[in-house]
Structure 1
Amino acid sequence: MGSAVDVFDYIIVGGGTAGLTVANRLTEDADIKVLVIEAGQDRTNDPLVQIPGLVVGMYGKPEYDWNFSSTPQPGLNNRIINQARGKQLGGSSALNFMMMLYPPRGSLDAWGALGNKGWDYDALSPYLSKFATFHPPPQAAKDAVGLGNHDDAAVGNGPIQVCFSEGYGKPNKAWMEAFAHLGLDMKTDPRTGKGLGAFQQGGSIDPATNTRSHAASAHYTPEIASRSNLTVITETVVQNIIFDASKDEPVAVGVLVRTRAGAEMTLLTDGEIILAAGALMSPQILELSGVGSKSLLQSLGIPVLVDNPSVGENLQDHPITCQSFEVKPDVLSGDVLRDPNVLGALLQQFQDGGKGPLGQSNISVAYVPLANGAGVCSEDAKKSLFASHREHAQTPEAKMLCKLLQEQDEPAVQYFLFPSQAHTVIDNPSSMADYLLPTSPENYLTVMTMLNHPFSRGSVHITSADVDELPRWDPNFNSNPLDLEISGRHVQFVELLLRTAPFADLFKPGGARIPQLKGDTPDHAREVVRQSQVCCFHPCCSLAMKPRETGGVVDSRLRVYGTKGLRVVDASVFPVQIAGNIQSMVYVVAEKAADIIKEDRLSK
C-alpha cells in the first residue's frame, strides 16, 4: 500500500479479468499511477487455480468464489440456480472452464447497431487479435479433431496463452464426424467472424506449463507487479464511490474501502474511477453510491445522486440446458475422477511436468443455426417461428435479434461436448460443484445446449445498503417464451445427434440419462429445458453501453451517464449478449477501454 499522501491517476475497482488488463495497459506509461482494489485474495499460485482439471474444487469456497444463488425461476420450474463469480485476483478468468471462443461478426455488428460508434466487428477485430497468443495445434490434435481450417495468422501475440490439447479422444472425433454427417462441418476458421458447425475451441492454458492462463498470470506477472506506478491491494472491499456533488454533475473523486483488518479508509484520485467488478457487482457498487433507480435507492435510505432506473436492468446470460447420457464401458468419461486413486495418479502425472488430462481442456463445441429434431431449419421454418411469436419480439433490440437469427450463417446455439456428467436437475444447489461432481454411479458424457441470443432480460439489484449482502440476482430465464421455444427445438436436435453415427456408437443402448425425460417431442423437450437449464456463467449487459434514452448506463466511451470521472469496464457494459463464451470479449472490451482512456487523457 502506498503512503497516505498517494493520489492515483486511476483507481480500478476489481482486480478481475477486465480490471487487471486495464491496469497493465495503463501502467505501460510510467507517468500514470494506478491503484487496483480487489476484494478477494491473490490465489495465483494455488494448485486449484493453476491446474485446469481441478477447477470444480474452487466452486462454493469463499476464498475463490462469490457463489451467487438466483431468485426462484418460474421459467425453470421455480428452481434456484447457482452461479460462480471469481473472488480473487484474475476474477472469473481464474475459475472458468478456460474456453476461448470468438464471436461471430453478427454478434458484434449488433453492438454498433445499438448506437455505439466504434464497437462493431471491424472496429473490434484488432483487439480480438491483440489480447491472446494462440499456439499452433499439435499433430495429435489435428489427427483427432481435424482443425483443417485453422489459420495460424488469425490472431496476434497477446499476453493470454491459448492452446489445443494432445488429449482429444474418441468422443471428440465422433462429435466432429457426426456434425459433418448432419451437414455441419466447419468450413472456416471460426475465429475470423464466420463459421457454422462443430469445431475444437482452444483453452486459455499455457502450453509451456499446462497451467491456466488468466488475467492475473498474464496481466500481473512479477515484472508487471514490480512497476512502481502500479499498486494492487487485495482483501479490500470497496463500499462505495465518493462523489463531489457540488458540481453540475457529480464527480467521482475516490472510494471508501474496508481493509483486510476491518478499518475504513478513503482512497482518492485526481483522475478517474474505473469500475470493473463484473456484471453482478458493478451495479451493486453504483447503487450503493447513489447511482440507480430513485425509488430503489430511496427505499434503502441511500441518497440519490443520479436517477437512472436502467442500472442493474437488461441483464443477459447464456442459459445452458444439460443432458447427460451413459456411455459404453470402453468410452472414457471424466467421471472416472470420482475414484480417489485415479485422481491421485493423474495428479502425480501432472506434477511430472504438467502431463496428462488435468492440464488440458478437452471440451469440443459446435455453432448451429436454428434447428430442430429434423435438422437445420429452412428459411421458411425460421420465418414462421418468429411470425408465431411476433408479440414476444416488439422491442427494437428483439426485432434485431429476430433478424439476426434468420441469417443463414448466424449460430442460434452453441453446443458443448462436456466430458462427464452434469446434475443440473437440482432445486437449490449449494454451489456449482453440486452440478458437476459425479454423484451417479454410471459414466456419462454431457451435451450442453447454450442459447446464444436470449430474448429474456433479467436484473441484479441491491436489497440492502450493506455491501456484504450480495445483490439479488434474477436471470429471469425463459420469461420470454421465444427462449424456451428455441432451446426446446435444439434439445430435439440433440436427440437427432444421439442417433447419428459415429456419435451414436459412444452410448449404451437404453442407458441412463440425466434428466431421465427424453426430449423427443416439443412438449418433452421444453420440459427437459425447464428441468435442467442453468446459467453458463456469462452474465453481462447490466450497465449497458447504449444511448441513455434507450436504456443505457454508459456511453460509447464507457463513461457513466450523469457523472464525471467514472467509467465501467467489464461485461456489464455489453449492449447485448454475444454468441459464444464471453471470456474473449471481456478481454477485448478491456483492451479497447485502455486505449480509449489513454486517448481521453491526451485530449484533456
Structure 2
Amino acid sequence: MPPKHTPTSAEGYDLILVGAGSASCLIASRLSQKLPDHRILVLEAGEHIRNDPKVQTPGLSATLQSDPTYDWQYVTAPEPGLNNRRVKHPRGKLVGGTSAINSHSVVFPNYEWHDRIARELLSDLGRTDWSAQGMKDCYRRWQHEGSESRVNNDVGSLDRVQTSYPRTMDVLRLQWIKAFEELGHATSTTGFTESSAGAVTVTNAVDSSIGERSHAGTAFLEPALKRGNVTLKTGIKVEQILFDEVLTADGRLNARGIRYTSQGDQHLITAREVILCAGVFGSPTILERSGIGLRHILSAANIPILYELPGVGENLQDHLNCSLACETRDGVPTRDEALRSPEVRKATSLEYERSRTGPLSEGAAYSFAFTPLQMLEKPSETEELIEKVERWVEGESDPKLRAQYSVIQSTIESPSEATATTFMLRTQRHRDADSVPPNTPPFVDGNYVTVVAMLAHPFSRGSCHISSDPSHEAEISFNYLSHPLDVEILARHLVLIERLFQQPAFSAITKPKARRLPRSFPYPISSLEDAKNILPINAATNYHPCGTCSMMREDLGGVVDERLRVYGTKNVRVCDASVLPIIPRGNILTAVYAFAEKAVEIICKEVEGSP
C-alpha cells in the first residue's frame, strides 16, 4: 500500500539507527557528543520501558526471559542434535535490547581471537584497526568498573555501563578459585587480555552503589536523548531500506531512507546513512527484505534482487553448554532453598526492597574459568583430539569454512586458550525436562553446586532467513552439535568437570557419594561415551547468537567489510552481534559494545575526512 506520509526535507536525518539494542544505544550516545551537528534517529520495534522494577532488579533476569512484555521470544526450528527440541532464544523487546534482560556476567574475548580474525578473515585495510592492539581502548571505554575511581581524564565524560564484583566471596566462590589453584592454574586476569588458563571472578553489569542492573538503554541512550540531536521512535517495524534506482559512480547501492510501519500505517523517512543494529535475527532479515542476500531466499519470497550477497543470514553460531551438578555438604550455602520455598523468596524480596542487598542485588554467575582441555587431559588424549581436528580442517571442502575452522584449530592447539568457558552456579540447574516423565517436579531436594561447560568456538553453523511466507517469523536453525567435533569437544569438557569434582577443593564441599544431576543421568561420568549421551538431553543455549552479517572478506562469505559497510552499498552498515564472524570464547556482549565503539571511531574519521 502507498505510504501514508512522505517526509518533508526537515524530517530527513543524517543517520538512522535501526534498533535500540546494545550497540545502537552506545553508538547514539557517542555520536551525540562527537557529532553534535548531526541529526540521529533511532527506530525501535519494542518500547522504552523506564524505571521497571523487573528490569532494574538483577536477580529477576530469568523472569524477563519468558515474558512477552520484555522478550521477543524467538524459537528455533527443531534441532536434530538436541533430540529435535525447539530452543527458545530470548531477545530484548525494549530499549537497551538484550542487555536489559540478560543475566549480567561480563566476560571478555582474548587478544588471540581478535588478532586471528584480523589476520585471517579481513583485508589488509582492516588488520590494524581490528587487531587486539587496535581494539584495546574499545574494550576499556564502554564500562566503569565499580572498584575504579570515577575520575578519569580519558573517559570521565563518556556514558558508561556500570559493572561490579560480588559483594562477598562465599564458600563456593572461594573453593572455585582454590580448585584451579590445586591444578596449578592460579587465578587468571579478567578483562580483555592475552589468554591464560584458570579461574576468574568476573564482574556483572550491576551498579553496586544502588544494587540495580546497568544496561545500554540507561547507560547510553537516555543521556543521548537529553542532548537534543537524537530522536527515538518506538513501536516501529522497519520493513526495508530504500535505495536509489541509479547506482553510484562506482556501481554501489545508495540508501536514501527507510520504510517502516507504525500502528498499521506505512511511513518513509530519509537519511544520509543507515546503520542496522536490529540484532542477529533482525539485521539479516531486513537486508533480505531490502533485496540484499542469497538469490534463492529472495526469489522464494518474491523480492527483487538488488545485490546478491550469499553470506546474509548464514554463519549463525551460538554457545552451547552442558552442566553437571553435585550435592553439597550440609551447611554449605547455596540458592536452592529459594527455588523451592515461597517464604525464602518473599524474604529475599523484602530485603532487596529495604536495602538493595541480598541475592536479588547480584547477578547469577561471577565464578568462571578459561579451560583448555590440556588442563585435565592426559597428553595422549589431547594429541588424539588435535589429530582429529587437523583431519577435519584439512578435509573441509568449503574454503569459506576452512578459513574459520583454521582459526578455531589454533585455539584448540594452544594450552593457554579456552576450548570451553566454564562457570559455576550456586544452585541446581535442569535442562533435561523433555527426558523425564511428565509432571516431574521442576526441582529436586538437596543443595547443589553446578558446573557448566560452554563450548567456546563451535564448528557447527546455522542460518536465519526470512520465510517465503511474509506472514511468518524468521526461520532460525543453529544445527547444534551437527559437527562431530562439537560433540567430541563438549563431551570431553563434561569429563573435565567430572575430574574437577574429584579435586580436594570440591571434595571438601560435596557429600561423599553425593547425588548428581542431570536427573536423566544421576551418576558420575565414567566414560566419554557417557558424556556424549548426556549432550542431546541436557545441553542448552547460553543465549549468545551471532554471525549472520559477518565482518569478513566477501570471498569468505562476509556481509560487511572492515568499515562495517554492507558489501555492494555505499552507506549501509551493520553493527550488532550479527557482525561477529567467529563467536568469542565467552559472553558476547563485551564484544558487541567494543565493536560499537570501533564503529563510532570509523564513522567519525569518515566525517572528519569528508568535504
What TM-score, normalized to structure 1? 0.90
The answer as to whether partners of 2:136 and 2:192 remain within 8 angstroms in 1 is no
- What is the alpha-carbon distance in structure 1 between the residues aligned to residue 435 and residue 28 of structure 2? 37
- What is the alpha-carbon distance in structure 2 between the residues aligned to residue 302 and residue 325 of structure 1? 54
Task: Indicate yes or no: 2:386 matched with 1:383.
Answer: yes
- What is the alpha-carbon distance in structure 1 between the residues aligned to residue 328 and residue 347 of structure 2? 23
Any residues of structure 2 matched to 1:149-548 within 5 Å, and which?
A: 159-221=160-222, 223-247=223-247, 248-259=251-262, 261-269=263-271, 271-338=272-339, 339-361=341-363, 363=365, 364-371=367-374, 374=377, 380-381=383-384, 383-387=386-390, 389-390=392-393, 395-427=402-434, 439-464=443-468, 466=470, 469-508=472-511, 509-517=513-521, 518-548=524-554
Q: After superposition, what is the alpha-carbon deviation per residue over 1:87-131, rounded to whole angstroms, capped at 9, x for unaligned?
A: 110001011111111111111112202114221111101111111
Q: State the secondary structure of the residue aligned to 2:508.
A: helix
The answer as to whether partners of 1:11 and 1:37 remain within 8 angstroms in 2 is yes
1:190: how far off? Answer: 4.8
1:2: how far off? Answer: 13
Change in 2 beyond 3 A, CA 1:469/1:61: farther
The answer as to whether partners of 1:44 and 1:216 remain within 8 angstroms in 2 is no
Q: State the secondary structure of the residue aligned to 1:89.
A: coil
Task: Indicate yes or no: 2:582 matched with 1:581.
Answer: no
Output the amino acid matched with 1:303. P
1:452: how far off? Answer: 0.8
Output the amino acid matched with 2:227. R
- What is the alpha-carbon distance in structure 1 between the residues aligned to residue 324 and residue 415 of structure 2? 27
Any residues of structure 2 matched to 1:29-48 within 5 Å, and which?
A: 29-48=35-54
- What is the alpha-carbon distance in structure 1 between the residues aligned to residue 32 and residue 188 of structure 2? 41
Output the amino acid matched with 1:120. S
1:502: how far off? Answer: 2.0
- What is the alpha-carbon distance in structure 2 between the residues aligned to residue 169 and residue 376 of structure 1? 34
Q: State the secondary structure of the residue aligned to 1:232.
A: strand
The answer as to whether partners of 1:165 and 1:360 remain within 8 angstroms in 2 is yes
Output the amino acid matched with 1:400. V
1:268: how far off? Answer: 1.4
Which one of the candidate residues 133, 139, 152 is aligned to 2:144?
133
1:389: how far off? Answer: 4.1
Output the amino acid matched with 1:506. I
- What is the alpha-carbon distance in structure 1 between the residues aligned to residue 148 and residue 360 of structure 2? 18
Change in 2 beyond 3 A, CA 1:396/1:220: closer
Q: State the secondary structure of the residue aligned to 2:423.
A: strand
| Identical amino acids, percent of aligned pairs | 32
1:498: how far off? Answer: 1.2
Change in 2 beyond 3 A, CA 1:392/1:131: farther
- What is the alpha-carbon distance in structure 1 between the residues aligned to residue 21 and residue 191 of structure 2? 27
Task: Indicate yes or no: 2:30 matched with 1:25.
Answer: yes
- What is the alpha-carbon distance in structure 2 between the residues aligned to residue 554 and residue 187 of structure 1? 34
The answer as to whether partners of 1:453 and 1:578 remain within 8 angstroms in 2 is yes
Query: Which 5+ residue runs of structure 2 have no aligned equivalent?
Result: none
- What is the alpha-carbon distance in structure 1 between the residues aligned to residue 264 and residue 324 of structure 2? 45
Q: After superposition, what is the alpha-carbon deviation per residue over 1:415-440, rounded to whole angstroms, capped at 9, x for unaligned?
A: 010222222124499xxxxxxx9533
- What is the alpha-carbon distance in structure 2 between the residues aligned to residue 393 and residue 304 of structure 1? 30
- Larger deviation: 555-564 or 356-365? 356-365
- Residue 595 of structure 1 aligns with which residue? 601
- What is the alpha-carbon distance in structure 1 between the residues aligned to residue 597 and residue 252 of structure 2? 28
- Larger deviation: 67-76 or 34-43? 67-76
Output the amino acid matched with 1:397. Q
Output the amino acid matched with 2:507. A
Q: State the secondary structure of the residue aligned to 2:315.
A: coil
- What is the alpha-carbon distance in structure 2 between the residues aligned to residue 230 and residue 372 of structure 1? 50
1:377: how far off? Answer: 7.3
Change in 2 beyond 3 A, CA 1:275/1:402: same
1:385: how far off? Answer: 4.0
1:168: how far off? Answer: 3.1
- What is the alpha-carbon distance in structure 2 between the residues aligned to residue 403 and residue 571 of structure 1? 23
Which one of the candidate residues 546, 563, 569 is aligned to 1:563?
569
- What is the alpha-carbon distance in structure 1 between the residues aligned to residue 342 and residue 6 of structure 2? 46
The answer as to whether partners of 1:368 and 1:413 remain within 8 angstroms in 2 is yes
Q: After superposition, what is the alpha-carbon deviation per residue over 1:277-301, rounded to whole angstroms, capped at 9, x for unaligned?
A: 1111111111111111111111111
Change in 2 beyond 3 A, CA 1:464/1:41: farther
Any residues of structure 2 matched to 1:60-99 within 5 Å, and which?
A: 60-99=66-105
- Residue 432 of structure 1 aligns with which residue? none
Change in 2 beyond 3 A, CA 1:24/1:376: farther
1:246: how far off? Answer: 2.2
Query: Which 5+ residue runs of structure 1 have no aligned equivalent?
Result: 139-151, 430-436
Change in 2 beyond 3 A, CA 1:183/1:574: same
1:330: how far off? Answer: 2.1
- Residue 143 of structure 1 aligns with which residue? none
Change in 2 beyond 3 A, CA 1:44/1:2: farther
Q: State the secondary structure of the residue aligned to 1:281.
A: helix
Q: State the secondary structure of the residue aligned to 1:446.
A: strand
Change in 2 beyond 3 A, CA 1:595/1:318: same
Q: State the secondary structure of the residue aligned to 1:55.
A: helix
- Larger deviation: 7-16 or 419-428? 419-428
Q: After superposition, what is the alpha-carbon deviation per residue over 1:196-225, rounded to whole angstroms, capped at 9, x for unaligned?
A: 10110001111211111110110023x432
Output the amino acid matched with 2:269. L
The answer as to whether partners of 1:189 and 1:195 remain within 8 angstroms in 2 is no
- What is the alpha-carbon distance in structure 2 between the residues aligned to residue 399 and residue 455 of structure 1? 10
Output the amino acid matched with 2:29. N
What TM-score, normalized to structure 2? 0.89
1:391: how far off? Answer: 5.6
Change in 2 beyond 3 A, CA 1:190/1:586: closer
Q: State the secondary structure of the residue aligned to 1:402.
A: helix
